[in-house]
Each structure stands twice: as structure tokens, then as C-alpha cells.
A and B are shown apart, each in its own frame.
Chain A
Amino acid sequence: MKRSNEPIFWSLFGAGGMLAALIGPALVFITGIAVPLGFIFAADTMSYSHMLAFSHHWLGKIVVLAVIALFMWHAAHRIHILLHDFGVHAVTTVRVLCYGGAFVGTVIAAYTLLTLKP
């Protein structure tokens, strides 16, 4: 029997879903609401120099890549099934678009993190 590739995609889906469930609300509140509006956090929390320093640290790189990539893989898996539920049955096309999108996003994120200017 041919081995299924489902466990790989399901693991990425699960990891992304868990990460989003645990820290997602806090991240959205910080990056999308509190810092842009300038309350609770210092005005320069997400300044260029701070974010560059954060993304130069190995731990920062892991955090940024984990959030962006796993969120994308999580969403790709769910949207892929969602399209099936809505009656889109072009299985291969849907898979290539969803997982391909997550893959491209992951590559762009990893490449950007590895080639950041000093």
C-alpha cells in the first residue's frame, strides 16, 4: 500500500492550529491594534531597529518563521478541505494552490530571515 502523505500535512495543520490557539490573540492584539494605536506598549516596540535586532537573533528567527509558516500551513489545510465542502472537487488543483501557497510563503519567510541586512 502506498504510504499516505496526510500525516505530514495534518501535523503542520495541528502545530499551526495549536500555536494560533495559544498565542494568536495576543499577537494580533500587539501587532495589529495596540502598537499601531500606540497604547500599552512603547511607541518604538515594532521599530525598524528593534524588529531587525529581533530577527537577527536565532531565537527571533525561529519565532518569526514558526508563526508565519505554521499559520499558513494550518490555514492551507483547512481551506483545502473547506473548498471540498463547498463543492470544489478539483482535488489536485486545490491541493497545489493551498499547500503550494503555504510552501511559497515558508520559502519567502525563510529566505528573508537568512538574508537580512546587518
Chain B
Amino acid sequence: MSNRRPYVRSMDGWWKRDPYFIRYMAREVSAVFVALYAIVLLFGLVRLGQGEAAFNGWLQYLKTPWMLVFHVIVLAVFCYHTWTWFNIMPKTMPIIFIGGKRLQPGTITGTGLAASVIACLAVLFIVRGMS
């Protein structure tokens, strides 16, 4: 009996087994696009430090069709990130009691999403006002 190999269930593709895991993966993979966007901005900052010609090159690069398509995808992923971030927030933050009643998950998510809309509109107006 010593050379019997015990059955070990494979973990390959475990996250495809359940819609909950697929949503988890979609949420976590959004980080790849956050990283790519940060790299694009870092590139722009380095170009800014190298002078006007270098920076204008970066600006021209942003206008290429591939970069525009890339940013449309990144925008969609960021919106998804905002949505999921505040949807899991009731689970990631400490439980809050107000007047003896627990702050409801829906209230936390709703407040977060509303704050996000306001913050985004504020950024758009500030940048428009500066230019």
C-alpha cells in the first residue's frame, strides 16, 4: 500500500469554478491597468524633467490611436474599480455603530459612490478652471 498516490484535487483554474471567484479575479486584475496608467504618468513626468521637446513627444504619443484606445479601456477599468472598491468597503472597514445601530453596508457603498462622483466632478471643474 506504500506506493499508492493519494488523490490531490488540482487547483488549476480554481477561480473559474464560481461566479463569485470570477468577480474577485476581475476586481483584482483591474490593478494591472492601474499600474499601466501610473507608468504612463511616470513616463510623462520623466519626459517633463528632460525638457520641452521630450515632453511634447510624450504629448504626441498620447494622441496616437493605440494610446487613445488604451485609455478608453483604462477609463472603463477605473470606473469598475470605483464600483467594486465601494462595494467591498463594508467588508474591509471596521464595523461602525451610530446611535447603537450598525452602519448598513448599503449606506457605506452609496456614500462612497456619491463621494466619488463629487470628487471626479470637482477634479474636472478644477482642471477646466486652471486651463
Interface of B is mostly: helix
Q: How distant is A80 from chain B, measured CB to nearest CB, in Å?
A: 9
Total contacts A to B, CB within 8 angstroms? 162
Interface size on A, residues (CB 8 A): 57
Q: Which residues of A sit under 8 angstroms from B127, Cβ to Cβ?
A: 30, 41, 45
| Nearest 10 Cβ contacts at the A-B interface | A32-B71, A78-B31, A75-B35, A26-B120, A71-B38, A45-B131, A21-B85, A26-B123, A42-B131, A24-B78
Is A15 in the interface zone, CB < 8 Å from B? no
* Partner pick for A22 among B48, B72, B119, CB 8 A cutoff: B119
Q: Is there an interface contact between A48 and B52, defined as CB atoms closer than 8 Å?
A: yes
Residue numbers of A with Cβ under 8 A of B are: 14, 16-18, 20-33, 35-37, 40-42, 44-48, 50-52, 54-55, 64, 67-68, 71-72, 74-79, 81-82, 85, 87, 105, 108-109, 112-113, 115-117
Q: Is there an interface contact between B49 and A116, defined as CB atoms closer than 8 Å?
A: yes
